[in-house]
């Protein structure tokens, strides 16, 4: 009998992998400005002229403020691509590029593509080729994003809900759980 994958656990585990490993690899890159939320980005670049409360009152949601920030960039506001792209923005961009194809393929077939990319990431890690690692991390994040979109899951909301307060078990930052941690799924709620 073939078991169906527990998509929510696999998504959570994969996302945690990407959250933990991508920052370590990003530190090796040449100096780039960090990816931040719309509010933090707004606070760092726009508050000399505009207040966050006024902006949300006038423009509404964080998504519309991100669109406003993009319009300001188009008019010459100084802001790097890394600053302007957050998790939600990346997920939206992947939807714009691939959603029709991925929706036609369906979630199960898309999940298999995602797992294949994780395998390619494992091979790149074993080989130690930094450029290949970067490509495979990007591919894994893209496939994870499209898979989450097919299930109607916002990766940013899910990550903040699960890890925004710190470790989901002890709530500490950094984690202060005793080692070794229980095996995956031993508590019945993922990594």
Domain boundaries, the chain: 7-31+87-163, 38-84
Question: 80: Cβ–Cβ under 8 A, 6 or more apart, which residues?
Answer: 32, 33
At 171, list the tokens: 């709530």
| Residue 21 pLDDT > 60 | no
Output the CA–CA distances (angstroms, integers) from residue 175 to 3, 14, 179, 182, 189, in the order listed. Answer: 32, 19, 10, 14, 17
End-to-end CA distance of the chain: 26
Output the CA–CA distances (angstroms, integers) from residue 40 to 30, 61, 65, 99, 146, in the order listed. Answer: 22, 14, 12, 29, 26
| Residue 82 pLDDT > 70 | no
Mean pLDDT value across residues 28-54: 54
Binned at pLDDT 50, 70 and 90, residue 151 comes out as: very high
| Residue 44 pLDDT > 70 | no
Q: Residue 57: what pLDDT?
A: 66
Domain 7-31+87-163 class? Answer: mainly alpha
Q: Residue 23: what pLDDT?
A: 43
The answer to whether the CB of 136 falls within 8 A of the CB of 120 is: yes
Closest CA to 137 of 120, 113, 151, 155: 120
pTM of the model: 0.56
Mean pLDDT value across residues 130-140: 93
Distance CA 162, CA 15 (A): 11
Distance CA 148, CA 10 (A): 11
Q: Residue 105: what pLDDT?
A: 96
Half-sphere exposure of 39 (CA within 13 A, CB side): 7
Is the model more confident about 64 or about 156? 156
Q: Residue 40: what pLDDT?
A: 62
Q: Residue 182: what pLDDT?
A: 59
Kindly report the average pLDDT of the chain as a whole number: 74
Q: Residue 50: what pLDDT?
A: 61
The DSSP output letter for 46 is: T
Distance CA 75, CA 92 (A): 22
Q: Residue 22: what pLDDT?
A: 43
At 118, list the tokens: 């994780």
The answer to whether the CB of 100 falls within 8 A of the CB of 166 is: no
Q: Residue 2: what pLDDT?
A: 43
């Amino acid at each position: 009998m073939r078991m169906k994958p527990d998509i929510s656990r696999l998504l959570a585990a994969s996302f945690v992998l990407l959250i933990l490993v991508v920052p370590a690899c990003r530190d090796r890159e040449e100096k780039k400005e960090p990816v931040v939320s719309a509010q933090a980005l707004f606070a760092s670049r726009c508050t000399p002229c505009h207040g966050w409360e006024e902006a949300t009152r006038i423009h509404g949601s964080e998504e519309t403020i991100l669109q406003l920030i993009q319009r300001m960039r188009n008019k010459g506001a100084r802001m790097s691509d890394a600053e302007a792209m957050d998790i939600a923005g990346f997920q939206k961009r992947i939807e714009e590029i691939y959603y029709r194809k991925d929706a036609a393929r369906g979630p199960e077939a898309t999940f298999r593509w995602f797992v294949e990319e994780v395998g390619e990431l494992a091979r790149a890690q074993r080989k130690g080729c930094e450029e290949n690692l970067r490509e495979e991390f990007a591919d894994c994040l893209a496939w994870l994003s499209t898979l989450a979109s097919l299930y109607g899951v916002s990766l940013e909301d899910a990550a903040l809900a699960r890890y925004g307060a710190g470790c989901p078990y002890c709530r500490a930052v950094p984690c202060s759980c005793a080692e070794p941690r229980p095996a995956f799924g031993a508590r019945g709620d993922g990594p």
